[in-house]
Amino acid sequence: MQSIQAIRSRLLLTSAALALAVAGPVAAQEEDLKKEHDTSPAGQYVGEYDTLGQLNLEIPGRRPNDPVINQEEYDIANKIYFERCAGCHGVLRRGATGKALTVDITRDLGYEHLHSFITYGSPAGMPNWGTSGDLSEEEVDIMARYLLLDPASPPEWGMDKMLESWKVVVAPEDRPTEKMNDIDIDNLMSVTLRDAGQIALIDGTTYEIHAILETGYAVHISRISASGRYLLVIGRDGRVNMIDMWMETPATVAEIKVGIEARSVETSKMEGYEDKYAIAGAYWPPQYVIMDGNTLEPLKIKSTRGYIYDEQTYHPEPRVAAILSSHYKPEFIVNIKETGKIHMVDYTDLKNLKITEIEAERFLHDGGLDSTKRYFITAANARNKLVVIDTKESKLVAITDTEGLTPHPGRGANFVHPDHGPVWATSHLGDESVALIGTDPEGHADNAWKIVETFYALGGGSLFVKTHPESDNLYVDATLNPDAETSASVAVFKISDLKAGEEPEYTTLPIGEWAGITEGQPRVVQPEFNQAGTEVWFSVWNAKDLVSAIVVVDDKTLELKEVIKDERLITPTGKFNVFNTRADVY
Amino acid sequence: MQSIQAIRSRLLLTSAALALAVAGPVAAQEEDLKKEHDTSPAGQYVGEYDTLGQLNLEIPGRRPNDPVINQEEYDIANKIYFERCAGCHGVLRRGATGKALTVDITRDLGYEHLHSFITYGSPAGMPNWGTSGDLSEEEVDIMARYLLLDPASPPEWGMDKMLESWKVVVAPEDRPTEKMNDIDIDNLMSVTLRDAGQIALIDGTTYEIHAILETGYAVHISRISASGRYLLVIGRDGRVNMIDMWMETPATVAEIKVGIEARSVETSKMEGYEDKYAIAGAYWPPQYVIMDGNTLEPLKIKSTRGYIYDEQTYHPEPRVAAILSSHYKPEFIVNIKETGKIHMVDYTDLKNLKITEIEAERFLHDGGLDSTKRYFITAANARNKLVVIDTKESKLVAITDTEGLTPHPGRGANFVHPDHGPVWATSHLGDESVALIGTDPEGHADNAWKIVETFYALGGGSLFVKTHPESDNLYVDATLNPDAETSASVAVFKISDLKAGEEPEYTTLPIGEWAGITEGQPRVVQPEFNQAGTEVWFSVWNAKDLVSAIVVVDDKTLELKEVIKDERLITPTGKFNVFNTRADVY
């Protein structure tokens, strides 16, 4: 294994450089990345708490140069902000998918700039609210003035709001009793059409688009119920759609809005609880909700507000990141980002709800199970750590430095390294390194939960790695790399050729070139295998008014197999193979 | 058993009448009572959240008629308020021990009235901050203006603040290795001297005052560690004192401030965990903290902010009421008032903290164990309910209407009713009724967790009932009754004479008269047995500048045995026999 020194000296990117370099449709991840690194827990809102803790309170009141807005205008502005803007810019205006809009920034920009930006939008993803007619001239004016004021505290989203938003479109008794279509559901791909607020269901064999379904904005993930029947997707705006795959044309049978900003959804997988419960986690309000698995009826809401695991100061906004379903216990595994805690939520008795709250590390993000499905490995990405949880014992096993900058594993990738035995891989947002952690405490005890190998892929800005039990390849993207050629390519490592302590060769696939897109700077994101593990799909993600595509590669030959283009494929990003997602194969 | 109709028609008091009638040192309980009935969760603070939920926000800013205060004055006022005032008036100024000070009230009263009140105090318990010299003329002026402004959001109190406040006065290694005094610790009484901010340790045999110790303000309860060595007391200001009873003269060996307002402290009692942990619950911030049982080092803070059990809307201030230690499991039982939840906190592994959150009823207050110590019976007093928890299974067993108004059991009273078998008794704040709930699901399954009998004591305004396994008497006070003679007396029921469905006779003991106090309106509060169960002690609680006393009664003869008077016994209220408290004998 190489020295860390050597790796660090070869870094192409630091987070800061990355933030300066990226542009276009990737502003989303860039802002997310910056947010992870902001260790002050919640900007304006928390600042208030911190200040109070010091007993240095500001007099409740407006400041001398505050713009003028009357109560009626303020009501209009809040309604518009929370409905249209908060999903991207964050409820506390600290930025997320969109830029931060705190007063230090907005007052620098000034009224005219804000007014123009709201009216005409930007190529980086800001909608043209004015010229599209979504907002009137008067409303744009109000919003521009509103943004010069301190952010309002965001609204709560409790059972009352959830029930108002909850719709059972097709009641369980009116749904088909058997599969009414010929779709090979297990080999279907659920593809996020980010800026369209839709998903595409694409056949994994024929590449036919079976359906385009309206969903929440920028669907973050797709998950499939344990039986394989129901597909659940969640938008960044907190809208959850439950899609019945047995219908002649799969369609939404239930939906609910679980919060104002959200990222995660999952369903119960333990034997005896298949399809019984669903769970969704929100960024705002900071909470998760357990729902009926057939109807999405909200049953139990749990707030995550509380103490940061290490310094034990109160955090008002601990956002819910990844949620997984245990295969060993009737438990959901809930990552809570800012407090660095993992909740093991026992769903056998919601009235006497048992939760084991594990002290892990800040800022928990995404992760996946090892190949035995017993261990959950998750990134605390702003701390450059991997956290390992034993889902059988509901306990922390290890916290390991990845030796890279900002690990971003997605679900990660499990394979057997020729020298090190079973490992799980993550790439990094902040550098070009790929880290392998040993995952076999019985067969390879010396390697267990240690970084056994670090090697280099194309460059920094990677979002996902991927392999499959049937594949000998490890794919590593570089989606957020500022270099257009790099961000449009993918590195492929031959697993059986890997050797301990030796820098491996890799093959570079020019996915963007294969897509044949001439305009824009399409970025290649998220390798995803078909069910059989014979093909890998890549999204070629362009701006929303330009052509995007999905490129399918033969895993054995590494040759182009198909380019899927369709005018409906607007900004494709995440893709989720139904079987691999359901069975946690990655 | 008599009809509810008949009972209701005989009620002497409604809560409202009680609130109007009481005065003097009991304003505390009256305000507490009103607070329980205030179902809007947290006044100003929550109102803000509620309004936000509706998207009708007020423009951040001051109102036209707000008084003038500059930032420096505001800083001074906040410091004074949180240090001196919040303990009684509540951090959100909604009132608690002291009156509510929300702006609707303070603006009605006006600057002059507030200024005068702060300067001179009141006989109802408000200190004379001005004439005592505690506040300067300028500070009184600032405070009067400050109170006309909307309340500031209260500060957090996390690990940083706790560690600042934590003192180990005598390190464990410097403490005696054996008992250095001749005190019969198990028969000692720890007596709260409310307005003095002290406790008195009084010998249960000789009635001698062994020590007067400085503590937090208005010590709410005394608890004793499982070994019987350490006495823990908590003031309403959140200060916890740990007193080593083995020292020649028992003294504080460790202390900490766990919050700004607090009520509850307890220690671990499970075999193998004796004296290992202590726990304290706070009203503000809404949280509890697990501490080292030898040093009070704060180890783990858990916020209680979250969802109300039934309507599932977010509550920003769910206060921690009673905490008990399970004898069946290594768990603390934590009552959370506003959300109506009970946390069963497993203390075996603080890093992987397991909590079972039981949906119970709002607004949980105090309670005690049944005679087998397996079941925890607690009042949800503003809902007129008793909640029963099985501490062996960590599950809800029953929620039962007491058929009275505002049950206020303290620890309650366990005895065997001649007809109904084992029962647990509570009296009521809002009426004169005493309710008995069956506690023997095996021997008397038909009666289990039902109100088997309701009968009448002296009058409304009762705070405590008491008996002892060696006693045939049930004592019921009427501390808050507006009638002076009633509030100075106690009703005694002979247990062996009780009959199903028959209104029992009782003996009235003129405790106040026996105390021989001629000035003020001393109220009799909290019967407490000595260890042997042969004597009952009563506090005769007068205003702080008048004579108070403790009256000891022979349990067999119901005759006066001793009047303990001492100029140091200022405003005695709660008394805690060390053995009975430690072993949960009541």
Closest by Cβ to A159, choosing from B60, B311, B352? B311
HEC assignment per residue over B16-32: HHHHHHCCHHHHHHHHH
CA distance B44 to A487: 52
What proportions of chain B, in percent to the nearest 5, are helix, strand and coil?
20, 35, 45
Chain B CA closest to residue A306: B303
pLDDT band at residue B321 using 50, 70 and 90 as cut-offs: very high
In our burial notation (b when 16+ CB lie closer than 10 A, e otherwise), range A160-193 reads ebbeebbebebeeeeeeeeeeeebebbbbbbbbb
Query: pTM for the whole thing?
Result: 0.85
pLDDT computed for residue A324 by the predictor: 97
- State mean pLDDT over A88-95: 74
CB-based contact A158 B74, cutoff 8 Å = no
Provide, as residue numbers in chain A, all residues whose Cβ is less than 8 Å from the Cβ of B78. 55, 57
Question: A147-162: per-residue pLDDT in tens?
Answer: 988 887 678 999 999 9
How far A166 CA lies from chain B's nearest CA (Å)?
15
CB-based contact A307 B306, cutoff 8 Å = no
Encoded tokens for A38: 């902001």
Tell me the pairing of strands A385-390 and B560-564: unpaired
Rg (alpha carbons) of chain B, rounded to whole number: 23
The values of phi and psi at residue A114, to 5°, are -60, -45
Residue type, A555: D
Provide, as residue numbers in chain A, all residues whose Cβ is less than 8 Å from the Cβ of B155. 49, 52-55
Residue contacts between A and B (CB atoms, under 8 Å): 180
Tell me the pairing of strands A364-369 and A352-359: unpaired
pLDDT band at residue B97 using 50, 70 and 90 as cut-offs: low
Q: Which of residues 48-107 of A touch B (CB under 8 A)?
A: 48-49, 52-62, 66, 69-71, 74-75, 78-79, 82
pLDDT > 90 in chain A, percent: 72
pLDDT computed for residue B217 by the predictor: 83
Which residues have a Cβ under 8 Å from the Cβ of A268 and sit 6 or more positions away?
A226, A274, A275, A276, A277, A278, A279, A293, A325, A330, A332, A347
A91, A357, A387: which to substitute to probe chain B, counting the most B Cβ within 10 Å? A357
pLDDT computed for residue B260 by the predictor: 86
Task: Name the more confident of B79 and A298.
Answer: A298
Closest by Cβ to B351, choosing from A53, A314, A359? A359
B50, B166, B357, B376: which to substitute to probe chain A, counting the most A Cβ within 10 Å? B357
Question: B31-44: per-residue pLDDT in tens?
Answer: 443 333 332 222 22
Question: B175-217: per-residue pLDDT in tens?
Answer: 999 999 999 999 999 999 988 999 999 999 999 999 999 999 8
pLDDT computed for residue B81 by the predictor: 87
CB-based contact A352 B351, cutoff 8 Å = no
Q: Is the pLDDT of residue B493 over 50?
A: yes
How far A165 CA lies from chain B's nearest CA (Å)?
14
Asked if B220 and B87 count as a contact pair (C-beta separation under 8 A), the reply is no
* Least confident piece of the model among A20-29, B425-434, B453-462, B547-556: A20-29
Q: Is the pLDDT of residue B29 over 50?
A: no
pLDDT > 70 in chain B, percent: 87
Q: Is the pLDDT of residue B18 over 60?
A: no
Closest by Cβ to B56, choosing from A75, A349, A396? A75
pLDDT computed for residue B12 by the predictor: 34
Instruction: Collapse the DSSP code of A217 into the 3-class scheme (helix H, G, I; strand E, B; otherwise coil) and give the result.
Output: coil
pLDDT computed for residue B91 by the predictor: 75
Rg (alpha carbons) of chain A, rounded to whole number: 23
Instruction: Write the CA distances from A55 to A312, A314, A478, B36, integer angstroms.
Output: 19, 16, 47, 29
Asked if A330 and A373 count as a contact pair (C-beta separation under 8 A), the reply is no
Provide, as residue numbers in chain A, all residues whose Cβ is less than 8 Å from the Cβ of B342. none
Question: A342-351: per-residue pLDDT in tens?
Answer: 999 999 999 9
Question: B402-452: per-residue pLDDT in tens?
Answer: 999 999 999 999 999 999 999 999 999 889 999 999 999 999 999 999 999
CB-based contact A53 B158, cutoff 8 Å = yes
Closest by Cβ to A312, choosing from B79, B301, B351? B301
pLDDT computed for residue A482 by the predictor: 83
pLDDT band at residue B124 using 50, 70 and 90 as cut-offs: low
CB-based contact B158 A82, cutoff 8 Å = no
Q: Is the pLDDT of residue A8 over 90?
A: no
pLDDT computed for residue A236 by the predictor: 86
Q: Is the pLDDT of residue A439 over 90?
A: yes
Question: A523-571: per-residue pLDDT in tens?
Answer: 999 999 999 999 999 999 998 889 999 999 999 999 999 999 999 999 9
pLDDT computed for residue B497 by the predictor: 98
Question: A173-227: per-residue pLDDT in tens?
Answer: 999 999 999 999 999 999 999 889 999 999 999 999 999 999 998 899 999 999 9
pLDDT band at residue A124 using 50, 70 and 90 as cut-offs: low
Q: Is the pLDDT of residue A323 over 50?
A: yes
pLDDT > 70 in chain A, percent: 87
Question: B362-402: per-residue pLDDT in tens?
Answer: 989 999 999 999 999 999 988 999 999 999 999 999 999 99
pLDDT computed for residue B544 by the predictor: 82
E strands, B205-286, in order: 209-214, 221-224, 230-234, 239-244, 251-257, 261-267, 277-284
Q: Output the average pLDDT for chain A.
A: 87
Beta pairing partners, B171: none
Tell me the pairing of strands A188-193 and A167-168: unpaired
pLDDT computed for residue A88 by the predictor: 66
Question: A464-514: per-residue pLDDT in tens?
Answer: 999 999 999 999 999 988 888 999 999 999 999 999 999 999 999 999 999
Provide, as residue numbers in chain B, all residues whose Cβ is less than 8 Å from the Cβ of A48. 153
Of residues B504, B407, B522, the one with CA closest to residue B464:
B407
CB-based contact A60 B314, cutoff 8 Å = no
CB-based contact A75 B69, cutoff 8 Å = no
Tell me the pairing of strands B198-203 and B188-193: antiparallel
- Cβ count within 10 A of residue A499: 12
CB-based contact B353 A356, cutoff 8 Å = yes
End-to-end CA gap in chain A: 25
Of residues B376, B413, B371, B411, the one with CA closest to residue B393:
B376
Residue B310 near chain A (CB below 8 Å) = no
Q: Is the pLDDT of residue A125 over 70?
A: no
CA distance B434 to B436: 7
How far B25 CA lies from chain A's nearest CA (Å)?
31
Residue A392 near chain B (CB below 8 Å) = no
pLDDT band at residue A46 using 50, 70 and 90 as cut-offs: very low
* Least confident piece of the model among A466-480, B68-82, B309-323, B446-460: B68-82
Instruction: Write the CA distances from A465 to A424, A427, A477, B180, integer angstroms.
Output: 10, 6, 7, 68
E strands, B285-374, in order: 287-292, 298-303, 306-307, 314-315, 320-325, 331-336, 341-346, 352-359, 364-369
In our burial notation (b when 16+ CB lie closer than 10 A, e otherwise), range A521-533 reads bbbbbbbbbbbbb
Q: Is the pLDDT of residue B550 over 80?
A: yes
pLDDT band at residue A440 using 50, 70 and 90 as cut-offs: very high
pLDDT computed for residue B122 by the predictor: 77
Q: Is the pLDDT of residue A15 over 60?
A: no
Q: In what order do the strands lie in the sheet with A261-267?
A: A261-267, A277-284, A287-292, A298-303
How far A313 CA lies from chain B's nearest CA (Å)?
5
Encoded tokens for B507: 């003996």
Q: Which of residues 435-494 of B touch A (CB under 8 A)?
A: none
In our burial notation (b when 16+ CB lie closer than 10 A, e otherwise), range B33-50 reads bbbbeeeebbbebbebbb
CB-based contact B62 A61, cutoff 8 Å = yes
CB-based contact B303 A314, cutoff 8 Å = yes
Active site members of A: 85, 88-89, 126, 365, 408
* Least confident piece of the model among B90-94, B191-195, B295-299, B378-382: B90-94
How far B478 CA lies from chain A's nearest CA (Å)?
36
Of residues A413, A428, A344, A320, the one with CA closest to residue A383:
A428
Q: Is the pLDDT of residue B49 over 60?
A: no
pLDDT computed for residue B125 by the predictor: 63
CA distance A322 to A324: 7
Report CA torsion sign: B314, B315, B316, B318.
negative
- Range list of H helices, B427-505: 484-487
- Range list of H helices, B516-583: 578-582
Active site members of B: 85, 88-89, 126, 365, 408
Is the ipTM reported for this complex over the cut 0.95? Answer: no
Q: Output the average pLDDT for chain B.
A: 87
* Least confident piece of the model among A19-28, A65-74, A128-137, A211-220: A19-28
- State mean pLDDT over B514-528: 93
E strands, A285-394, in order: 287-292, 298-303, 306-307, 314-315, 320-325, 331-336, 341-346, 352-359, 364-369, 375-380, 385-390
Residue A314 near chain B (CB below 8 Å) = yes
Chain A CA closest to residue B79: A55
Q: Is the pLDDT of residue A585 over 60?
A: yes
- Range list of H helices, A522-583: 578-582
- Cβ count within 10 A of residue B11: 18
